[in-house]
Structure 1
Amino acid sequence: MFPLLVVLCAIVLWAGITLEDAGDLLDRYGLLAVMVPAMIGMGGNLGSILSARLSTRLHLGTTTFDPTDRLLWANVAAIFALAATIFTALAVTVWLFGMVVGASLTLGQLLVISLLSGLSVAAIAVVASVVATYGSYRLGIDPDDTTIPIVTNVVDVFGMLVFLAVSRWVLVG
């Protein structure tokens, strides 16, 4: 597990450097800085939920990672439904906070940023969860030990990149 932890630490370091490089954007649009922890945390949580569900199904012997597995697709759909709900609530909450502090971002801008980023992060979390769970299983490693650290770190980095890219696209053009 030690080599895996070293690689994951490097990935998280990359996320921190990416966030530091986006300082100008976050300074100019302070509400985005409010969204960052929730965006990254929720993405990791969504991936962790799916990873745990897949690991449990593996331990119970009820999954085969067959693309026609209806229960697998139902879990994926549930993750996307949860993501849509959470990231809509995030946009509305941040917009209300912005109204109190006098920030200039509109609800429409925040909804586009939050939903586009959030659903993209959910897609990354789904792929990372399935790959990490299946990979652990194929390597003979207990997925309960590997999937959540892998998924949360991957989602942290790529979620940050997606969030910043979408924010720049919406706000800067």
Structure 2
Amino acid sequence: MMVDERNTDGFFIRNKSVFVMGLISLIIAAIADLVAGLFLKSMEEYIILIPGMMIMIYSAIGMRGNIFGAMGSRLGTSMHMGTFKMSFKKNSVLRSNIEAAVVLTLSLSAIMGVIGWAVIELFFERTIEPLSFIFISLVGGILAGAIVIVFNIIIAREGYKRDWDVDNITAPLIAAAGDIATVPMIYLATWMVLNTDRIFIDITCILLLVLTVFITVALLKRKVKRKRKMDEAKRIVKQSMPVLTICIFFEIAAGMIVESGTSAVVKYGVLLVLLPAFLNEGNALSGMLTSRLSSMLHIGTMESRKYPNGPAYENFLIIYILATVTFLFIGTAAYIVQPSGLGYGTLMAIVLIAGLLTTTVINFLSYYVAVSAVKFDLDPDDHCIPITSSIMDMVGTAILVTIITMMI
């Protein structure tokens, strides 16, 4: 018995940093996401009026997390390896990541707008003009992306200055910043489409598409002066673009699941408020775990194996504990800020059952994605977070909507 107690004490002491910093960042993220949920509640009219708005909102939220969560993971790894400097000089780690994030935000917002519009045309009876939908995606993406880039830089600066392990805080805080920035910016872009002359919207959309192509091509054709010197921004874009484009389909699938359950979600306002927080916490937990596993694989503190080993299972337990606390907090806070006809017991049952099922998938998916990236000689920071986040957005949404359908 004494051995077990010592092992338990050792587990919490050994992981004090992740429990303290991780839990604080998750709670801060949850509060921010509940604010985003309240903002989403205020968008009910647009959600009902504009076809595919739930697809757009959740795809945009997921894409923001994919781009900037991966950026945060790369910066965290560079800090672990001692290559990070708080510098905006050409070819510095920070500037390269900013350049790549700008190009990926522009190009993927355009791609998401096109694919999203096509999905709405194919699978839903309602319709919307393609340039209008692409405009919402591009303008919302650019404005939200600008906010999240600044936030990412602040986290990197503070983490570097204070010697934090940013793997424990980047994923939840960046995901929350993405949520709280994306929903209002999508709202603003949608308002512009509904209240601005159609010609202006079409011309602006076309100009933004031309600008996106120009900036993307310019970066991909950029050459370095010194031989054997790698252009990090170019590498990030080339390696990230294919996987992030594939991830768009997972994000759109998540949006379609939410869109199909819109009537039930809108009926109980607490569920509409809860949705961004629930999905972001799943996204944040997967991002946190993936960042930790990626860094461990990079620096050699965990081996790539067919089955999870001790360090992996220890991290799984950490995520279960963090998930239980944060999902309890989310459900209770959502019930307080948005009372509805749904009872507290029912709401908490929905949140905890869906949350713990989602966490189980997160643990094993994050491990095997990280290990597979190493096996195929890919950078886990570029591929793991986008893949796990996108799949978890779809899986987490499906689990939550299924539990809601079964219990109300």
The two structures share one fold, judged by TM-score above 0.5: yes
Distance in 2 between the 1:45 and 1:125 partners? 10
Deviation at 1:78, TM superposition (A): 0.6
> For the aligned residues, what is the CA RMSD?
1.3
- Which residue pairs with 1:94 in the alignment? 334
Query: One-letter code of the match for 1:164?
Result: V
| 1:108 corresponds to 2:345 | yes
Distance in 2 between the 1:159 and 1:85 partners? 17
Q: Deviations over 1:76-103 (max 9, x none)?
A: 001010000000011111111234xxx1
Distance in 1 between the 2:315 and 2:269 partners? 35
Distance in 2 between the 1:144 and 1:3 partners? 14
Q: Deviations over 1:119-146 (max 9, x none)?
A: 1111121122112101101000110111
Query: One-letter code of the match for 2:294?
Result: S
Tell me: higher relative CO, structure 1 or 2? Use CA pairs within 8 A at least 6 residues apart. Answer: 1
Preserved contact between residue 98 and residue 105 of structure 1 (Cα < 8 Å): no
Alignment map for 1:45-84 (pairs within 5 Å): 45-66=284-305, 67=307, 69-84=309-324
Query: One-letter code of the match for 2:341?
Result: S
Q: Which runs of 5+ in 1 are unaligned?
A: none
Distance in 1 between the 2:272 and 2:245 partners? 28
Q: Please say which structure displays the higher CA radius of gyration.
A: 2
Preserved contact between residue 91 and residue 110 of structure 1 (Cα < 8 Å): yes
Q: Secondary structure at the match of 2:385?
A: helix
Alignment map for 1:1-173 (pairs within 5 Å): 1=239, 2-66=241-305, 67=307, 69-99=309-339, 103-171=340-408
Query: One-letter code of the match for 1:83?
Result: A
Change in CA separation of 1:93 and 1:62 when aligned onto 2, cut-off 3 Å = same
Aligned-residue identity in percent? 26
Query: One-letter code of the match for 2:255?
Result: G
Preserved contact between residue 304 and residue 374 of structure 2 (Cα < 8 Å): no
Q: Secondary structure at the match of 1:141?
A: coil
Distance in 2 between the 1:32 and 1:60 partners? 41
Q: Which runs of 5+ in 2 are unaligned?
A: 1-238
Query: One-letter code of the match for 2:378?
Result: I
Distance in 2 between the 1:135 and 1:87 partners? 29
Query: One-letter code of the match for 2:331?
Result: A
Q: Secondary structure at the match of 2:374?
A: helix
